[in-house]
A and B are shown apart, each in its own frame.
Chain A
Amino acid sequence: MGRLAIFIERYSISGSFELDSLLRFKDAGERRGHDVSYLFRPELRHITRYDAVFIRATTDPLNASFVASRVAEMHGIPVIDDSHSILVCCDKIWMYQLLQKRGVDIPRTVFLHRSEVNELRAVALFRELGPKIVLKAPDSSFSSHVEKVESPAEFVEIGEKFLRRSDRILAQEFVKSLFDWRVGVLGGKPLYACRYIIPEETFKIMAVVDGKLRLCWTEGVALDAAPPEVVRLAVEAANAIGEGLYGVDLKQVDGRTVVIEVNDNPTINAGLEDLYAPDLYDRIVAHLLEERRPRHPAKRS
């Protein structure tokens, strides 16, 4: 029997899908004979009381979830998401370079230094990447700080805005599709699949259009009903980052499959991502508490 801490923030329990999902994790853990507790920010000092930590809150190298991850690691406690995965996935410059290095198919991507955000460079990039370019700030999440630009002036305007957040940004070929595949991968194995249907008014899974929030719709798909190429490429992309839990976004257009991004801390909403993968809760609990043992038991209380 082990003790699992699920680190959450108050917003983690604000939606019914998320709340149901957290309860399913607890049920799965307890059914398997483990103690499962929810851990909030002020209780992070008690993290060493647990045998494993599962983070279900927005990750960023500079917020409390990263502290939870790193402190757990320092004490030899298995954790999802591990700090390396957070550092890489919360920095698209790092993430895409790792994917490129491993030969994973991604849209054509150019990394830009501050000095390259000018109209002259933009003209060359439009020639290289096509008439529409997607600019991304490295720490973009939930589609924020991701913009499509179609002119050098727009490139400079958006690029300079993103440079307020980072000294480097990236430009990417625009790949249009009606939906993104999302494949959950755990420890190098596919966990679940779904389609994120992109709202008509935007190219992103989440956007504010005319002052109104437009969100993608999630459609669960059985893993064996997803295109094998999508699942294979998702696993390849996840393996380029690490051995944790990832949500890999992919597009299939004109017979070409590309990885759009690899997310740590992927959304798992009850009735959506888990629709055809009800065992995902058990698999995550088993991965954390049963499949690997902590390396430093002597440090534990």
Chain B
Amino acid sequence: MSSDADAKPVRPRVAPEFSGDYEVLSEGYYRCQDAELSGARPDPTCADAVDAYVVPIALEKAALAGLPVPEWFLSNELFPPPCVVYGVNPFSRGYAFVRDEAQREAAAAKFTWRKKYVLCGQIISDATEVVALRVVRGHTESPGYERWAADIDRVFRIPLATVRLLRTGDDVRFSSITVLPAKSLTPRERAWLAEPRTPPVAPGSDGLHG
């Protein structure tokens, strides 16, 4: 039994794990685990990685940290379109737009593995689009999303991440985080890896996040 409020001893931080893939039971995940077992506090910890990659947990964590998130639900039955859906299971990757009821059944079957698992749906409007950011240690090459990149890094501490946001006009909300393979980095992104970590910034200080 525990809660986040339980006191934990301060552990030394170690160099971040830069593979970009921290999926449970992957080599990147195990390298983080090795560091934890040696008594250090890596970026990310195994718990950080799971918090980031399991969509409903990431949404809850983002919301508690003050980032705007869409209204969301868990279901393995019927759900109301339009929405974006993600699987919550060991196998499903990616997401699907469900714009109308005709698309719903196929999406539900795919992401719930025929009702064996649950899916996470995020309510959108017909005008919503998904914006994918590549975030490297709190930086992004996507103009206009620098604050988002910094905030995602502050909240989740995932050194390399593909971040999906839901954009409806000027309204932008956090949607999910997935892997960003190190081998896909641009020269500028690789340079960011060598930079010292920037201090955390309060969310919404540039007015982007309501």
Contacts and interface: CB of A to CB of B under 8 A. Distances in A.
B26 interface: yes
Contacts of A64: 74, 88, 117-118
Nearest to B61: A74
Interface residues of B, number: 34
A216 interface: no
A42 B73 contact: yes
Contacts of B2: 73, 78-79, 82-84, 242-244
Contact of B57 (A41, A70, A79, A287): A70
A77 B3 contact: yes
Given A67-B57, A76-B5, A83-B47, A139 B88 contact: no
A3 to B, nearest CB: 16
A295 interface: yes
Interface in B35-57: 37, 46-47, 50-51, 54, 56-57
Interface string B84-96: 0000111000000
Contacts of A167: 25-27, 29-30
B209 to A, nearest CB: 19
A61 B89 CA distance: 9
B1 interface: yes
B175 interface: no
Contact of A45 (B51, B73, B117): B73
Nearest to B51: A70
B106 interface: no
A41 B33 contact: no
A67 B47 contact: no
Interface stretch (A86-94, A126-134, A192-200): A86-94
B64 A67 contact: no
Contacts of B73: 42, 45
A135 to B, nearest CB: 15
Given A62-B24, A62-B90, A288 B1 contact: yes
B171 interface: no
Interface size class of A (residues with CB under 8 A): 35 or more
- Say whether chain B's binding surface is mostly helix, strand, loop, or mixed: mixed
A63 interface: yes
A296 B73 CA distance: 24
A7 to B, nearest CB: 12
A294 interface: yes
Contacts of A83: 2, 47, 50
A187 interface: yes
Nearest to B91: A62
A187 B1 CA distance: 8
Nearest to A94: B33
A21 B24 CA distance: 32
A76 B3 contact: yes
Contact of A61 (B4, B50, B60): B50
A256 interface: no
Contact of A87 (B46, B64, B75, B117): B46
B26 A98 contact: no
Interface of B: 1-6, 24-27, 29-30, 33, 37, 46-47, 50-51, 54, 56-57, 60-61, 64, 73-77, 88-90, 117-118
17 contacts: A45-B73, A61-B54, A63-B89, A63-B117, A64-B74, A64-B118, A66-B57, A67-B118, A71-B57, A79-B1, A84-B2, A91-B25, A91-B33, A94-B33, A94-B46, A167-B27, A244-B2
